[in-house]
């Protein structure tokens, strides 16, 4: 024990020395949630590291007037940051995993290192606009206004010449660092400010100190050796008991698919448990329905609330594939994807064969409910719509990029975007997704999806790629912005698709008319236009014109320009006046707005006329 205490003392001295020459105070991070470091997803871990560092730099600017630490302190600052991450109990190596070198922590935007240099670069009128929006508690709609202002007004004065910036603090984050440190009265450590500008949440045990943590760790080391063998014995006993319980369940359910993995964390429920949770599938518990069957709200025996999806027209012959499917889905975890908790299969003479999945419950229902359903009278404000758009894109990007092989959802629509208690969007119902090798185009003989959301090349030819999901995402984004359904009729009972309607407005410079009227706390006109143009780009009827969902997400989350949007083929739903007006519009069109925002060009494409038409 004496040796352990000495080692602990030397380790503490080492940590003190590592941070001695670094002026940044990384201890403030203990006040904020660091859960992403334990996610196992490198992208999320690096994002957590960037958010942490931006908060620390903002506090440094507030107390010292500098955006960045001195170059000769770069390595010491990295070491101090790494030590702080280690103190959280994570073994994540931020430099090697995220690809940063020592100097990247002291490089910034346009060689701006001090508050005075920033204020010289950004005119006082623009800074006054920033202050008006951000000089308040940044909760609720105030955050929306501040964030929108910071993403637009100062950025024209902070543009890098290079398209690739390797440092952590590029020009897009400087306004947030400055606003939190200088303009906001609560400073960067205020919970609302940290959440709004750096996406960090406070933790309840923010008063913990690191000395106690290291002492507890040292004591734990001495005890853990003694408990090791006992713990191993207990684990073996528990696993044996779990297998016994599982065997009893399988015996009670009759013959089950041979592919069921006994080591899976997925819960296999008995049909009686499902009946009890849903009050015997009471109609009062129905919270959704579709071609697959009904969704019920359920309460399990432990008190947890779940969503129970009951499939209809099932047969025992499909259980083998069903069990494999739910096992795959249950292994996919992301904050913007609905988690699968368990499933049930059961024969029944009266009701037929039962096939059920149990998912986490979303208290705010679906996006469809808020746009067109029972909650449509409570219009979403601009901040909520932006949060939902980003959540949709992040969930879809995870399916396309971080799951191997990639998952194509095939049925992105408003009713499959669910909202938790904080209006965080989660993509649901990817149980029928197809798994395709990277870079391979899948040609399906069975088109899944919902009319109005399905990409033209998929609906007409069965050609399925990740960009089929991007098209559906663009349609849902237009619904979110406009409050209109994907397919609707005009005042003259003329059928119209939302993409054709929005495009016609954008072409004549009336992009802002796409936005739902009487929206609460709408954002700045230039930001609104960006969202509309991103939606139109994603929902372009020609596959090669669409971005990947990763590219669309980067445009939404940063100040990257929206690429030029090629002109669209004639809509499938069009009258003679539409055709004549489109045919007479020659050359390149310019999309402009009353807000004076940068216009977006449309390029006429001669081959577009021969391609598949969109309806």
Per-residue pLDDT tens for 72-118?
A: 999 999 999 999 999 989 999 998 888 888 888 988 888 899 999 99
The pairs formed by 427-430 with CB atoms below 8 angstroms and a separation of 24 or more are: 427/336, 427/337, 427/338, 427/392, 427/395, 427/396, 427/399, 428/337, 428/338, 428/359, 428/362, 428/366, 429/338, 430/329, 430/337, 430/399
Q: Does the pLDDT of residue 597 top 80, yes or no?
A: no
Give the separation between CA 71 and CA 105, rounded to whole angstroms.
Answer: 8
The alpha carbon of 449 is separated from its chain's Cα centroid by a whole number of angstroms, namely 22
Instruction: Average the pLDDT over 450-469 and give the result.
Output: 89
Q: Does the pLDDT of residue 433 top 80, yes or no?
A: no
- When mean pLDDT is compared over 73-77, 318-322, 600-604, the highest value belongs to 73-77
Q: Which of the two residues, 71 and 256, has the higher pLDDT score?
A: 71
Q: Are 327 and 266 contacting, i.e. CB atoms less than 8 angstroms apart? A: yes
Q: List 165's β-bridge partners, or say none.
A: none
Q: Which of the two residues, 3 and 530, has the higher pLDDT score?
A: 530
In this structure, the number of other CB atoms found within 10 A of the CB of residue 71 comes to 13
Q: Does the pLDDT of residue 258 top 70, yes or no?
A: no
Instruction: Average the pLDDT over 428-436 and give the result.
Output: 56
Q: Going from the N-terminus, what domains does the chain have, and what CATH number goes with each? A: 2-198 (no CATH), 267-360 (3.30.200.20), 367-610 (1.10.510.10)
Give the separation between CA 301 and CA 178, rounded to whole angstroms.
Answer: 50
Nearest to 395 by CA among 556, 534, 550, 535: 550
Q: Which of the two residues, 265 and 258, has the higher pLDDT score?
A: 265
Q: Does the pLDDT of residue 603 top 70, yes or no?
A: no
Q: According to the model, what pLDDT value does residue 404 have?
A: 81
Q: Are strands 425-427 and 434-436 parallel, antiparallel or unpaired?
A: unpaired
Give the least confident one: 28-32, 69-73, 214-218, 396-400.
214-218
Give the separation between CA 19 and CA 21, rounded to whole angstroms.
Answer: 6
Q: Which of the two residues, 313 and 435, has the higher pLDDT score?
A: 313
The alpha carbon of 217 is separated from its chain's Cα centroid by a whole number of angstroms, namely 35
Q: Which of the two residues, 47 and 382, has the higher pLDDT score?
A: 382
Q: Does the pLDDT of residue 6 top 90, yes or no?
A: no
Burial class (CB in 10 A: 0-12, 13-18, 19+), 265: exposed
Q: Which of 52, 76, 319, 411 is catalytic?
A: 411
Q: According to the model, what pLDDT value does residue 188 have?
A: 95
Q: According to the model, what pLDDT value does residue 571 have?
A: 60
- Which pLDDT band, with edges at 50, 70 and 90, does 223 fall under? low
75 is in an annotated binding site: no
Angle at 113 between CA 107 and CA 116, to 5 degrees: 165
Instruction: Average the pLDDT over 242-250 and give the result.
Output: 48
Instruction: Average the pLDDT over 465-493 and give the result.
Output: 92
Q: According to the model, what pLDDT value does residue 239 have?
A: 64
Give the separation between CA 341 and CA 307, rounded to whole angstroms.
Answer: 10
CA distances from 6 to 12, 209, 440, 459 (A): 10, 20, 58, 70
Q: According to the model, what pLDDT value does residue 612 have?
A: 34
Specify whether 411 is catalytic.
yes
Q: According to the model, what pLDDT value does residue 316 have?
A: 78
* CB within 8 Å of 500: residues ≥ 6 apart: 568, 571, 573, 574, 614
Q: Does the pLDDT of residue 396 top 80, yes or no?
A: yes
- How high is the mean pLDDT of the chain? 78
Q: Which of the two residues, 223 and 300, has the higher pLDDT score?
A: 300
Q: According to the model, what pLDDT value does residue 482 have?
A: 94
Q: What is the DSSP letter of 32?
A: B
Provide, rounded to the nearest whole percent, the portion of the chain with pLDDT above 90. 40
Q: Does the pLDDT of residue 180 top 90, yes or no?
A: yes
What radius of gyration do the chain's Cα atoms show? Answer: 27
* CB within 8 Å of 351: residues ≥ 6 apart: none
Provide, rounded to the nearest whole percent, the portion of the chain with pLDDT above 70. 74
Instruction: Average the pLDDT over 41-50 and give the result.
Output: 84
Instruction: Average the pLDDT over 117-126 and give the result.
Output: 89
Q: According to the model, what pLDDT value does residue 601 have?
A: 37
Angle at 400 between CA 399 and CA 405, to 5 degrees: 85
Q: Does the pLDDT of residue 413 top 70, yes or no?
A: yes
Instruction: Average the pLDDT over 61-82 and give the result.
Output: 94
Token pair recorded at residue 312: 């209809």
Give the separation between CA 287 and CA 290, rounded to whole angstroms.
Answer: 11
Give the least confident one: 366-370, 385-389, 504-508, 575-579.
575-579
Overall pTM surpassing 0.75 (yes/no): no
Q: According to the model, what pLDDT value does residue 330 have?
A: 86
Give the least confident one: 81-85, 112-116, 213-217, 237-241.
213-217
3-state helix, strand, coil split of the chain in percent (to 5) is 50, 10, 40
Number of helices and strands in the chain (H, E): 20, 17
Q: According to the model, what pLDDT value does residue 233 have?
A: 65
- When mean pLDDT is compared over 329-333, 447-451, 483-487, the highest value belongs to 483-487
Give the separation between CA 396 and CA 553, rounded to whole angstroms.
Answer: 10
Q: What is the DSSP letter of 347?
A: -
Q: Does the pLDDT of residue 585 top 80, yes or no?
A: no
Give the separation between CA 218 and CA 196, rounded to whole angstroms.
Answer: 37
Q: According to the model, what pLDDT value does residue 418 have?
A: 95
Q: Residue 101: which region, alpha, beta or left (left: phi > 0; alpha: psi -120 to 50)?
A: beta
Token pair recorded at residue 546: 């669409």
Angle at 274 between CA 240 and CA 421, to 5 degrees: 100
Nearest to 60 by CA among 10, 110, 26: 26
Q: Does the pLDDT of residue 602 top 70, yes or no?
A: no
Q: According to the model, what pLDDT value does residue 243 have?
A: 52
Instruction: Average the pLDDT over 412-420 and give the result.
Output: 93
Nearest to 615 by CA among 415, 453, 372: 453
Give the separation between CA 457 and CA 270, rounded to whole angstroms.
Answer: 42
Burial class (CB in 10 A: 0-12, 13-18, 19+), 519: middle
Give the separation between CA 93 and CA 99, rounded to whole angstroms.
Answer: 10
Tens digits of per-residue pLDDT, 267-318? 999 999 999 999 999 999 999 887 678 999 999 998 999 999 998 877 777 7
Q: Does the pLDDT of residue 578 top 70, yes or no?
A: no
- Which pLDDT band, with edges at 50, 70 and 90, does 135 fall under? very high
């Amino acid at each position: 024990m004496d040796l352990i205490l000495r080692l602990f003392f030397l380790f503490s001295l080492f940590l003190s020395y590592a941070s001695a020459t670094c002026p940044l105070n990384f201890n403030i991070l203990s006040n904020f949630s660091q859960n992403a470091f334990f996610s196992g997803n490198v992208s999320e871990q690096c994002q957590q590291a960037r958010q942490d560092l931006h908060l620390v730099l903002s506090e440094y600017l507030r107390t010292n007037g500098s955006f960045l630490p001195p170059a000769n302190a770069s390595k010491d600052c990295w070491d101090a940051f790494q030590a702080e991450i280690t103190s959280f109990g994570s073994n994540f190596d931020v430099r090697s995993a995220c690809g940063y070198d020592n100097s990247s922590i002291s490089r910034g935007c346009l060689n701006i290192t001090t508050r005075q240099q920033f204020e010289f670069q950004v005119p006082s009128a623009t800074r006054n606009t920033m202050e008006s929006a951000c000089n308040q508690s940044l909760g609720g709609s105030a955050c929306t206004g501040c964030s929108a202002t910071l993403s637009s007004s100062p950025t024209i004065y902070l543009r890098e010449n290079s398209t690739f910036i390797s440092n952590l603090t590029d020009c897009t984050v400087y306004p947030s660092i400055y606003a939190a440190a200088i303009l906001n009265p609560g400073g960067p450590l205020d919970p609302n400010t940290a959440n709004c500008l750096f996406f960090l949440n406070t933790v309840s045990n923010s008063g913990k100190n690191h000395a106690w943590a290291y002492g507890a760790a040292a004591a734990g080391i001495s005890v853990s050796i003694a408990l090791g063998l006992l713990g191993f014995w207990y684990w073996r006993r528990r696993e044996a008991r779990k297998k016994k319980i599982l065997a009893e369940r399988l015996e009670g359910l009759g013959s089950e698919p041979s592919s069921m993995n006994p080591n899976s964390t997925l819960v296999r429920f008995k049909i009686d448990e499902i009946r009890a949770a849903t009050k015997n599938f009471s109609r009062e518990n129905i919270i959704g329905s579709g071609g697959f069957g009904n969704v019920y709200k359920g309460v399990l025996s432990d008190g947890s609330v779940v969503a129970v999806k009951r499939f209809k027209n099932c047969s025992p012959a499909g259980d083998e594939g069903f069990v494999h499917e739910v096992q795959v889905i249950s292994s996919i975890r992301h904050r913007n994807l609905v988690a699968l908790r368990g499933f049930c299969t059961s024969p029944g003479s009266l009701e037929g064969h039962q096939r059920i999945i149990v998912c986490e419950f979303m208290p705010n229902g679906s996006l469809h409910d808020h746009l067109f359903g029972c909650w449509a009278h409570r219009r979403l404000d601009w901040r909520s719509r932006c949060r939902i758009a980003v959540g949709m894109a992040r969930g879809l990007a995870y399916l396309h990029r971080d799951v191997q092989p990639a998952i194509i959802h095939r049925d992105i629509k408003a009713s499959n975007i669910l909202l938790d208690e904080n209006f965080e969007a989660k993509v649901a119902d990817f149980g029928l997704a197809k798994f395709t090798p990277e870079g391979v185009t899948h040609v399906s003989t069975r088109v899944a999806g919902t009319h109005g959301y399905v990409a033209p090349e998929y609906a007409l030819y069965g050609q399925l790629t990740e960009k089929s999901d991007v098209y559906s995402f663009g349609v849902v984004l237009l619904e979110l912005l406009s409050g209109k359904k994907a397919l609707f009729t005009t005042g003259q009972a003329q059928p119209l698709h939302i993409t054709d309607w929005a495009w016609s407005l954008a072409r004549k410079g009336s992009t802002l008319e796409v936005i739902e009227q009487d929206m609460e706390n709408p954002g700045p006109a230039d930001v609104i236009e960006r969202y509309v143009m991103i939606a139109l780009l994603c929902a372009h009827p020609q596959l090669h014109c669409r971005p990947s969902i990763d590219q669309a997400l980067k445009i939404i989350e940063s100040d990257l320009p929206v690429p030029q949007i090629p002109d669209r083929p004639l809509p499938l739903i069009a009258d003679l006046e539409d055709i004549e007006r489109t045919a007479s519009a020659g050359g390149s069109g310019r999309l402009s707005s009353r807000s004076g925002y940068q216009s977006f060009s449309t390029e006429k494409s001669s081959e577009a006329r021969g391609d598949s038409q969109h309806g």
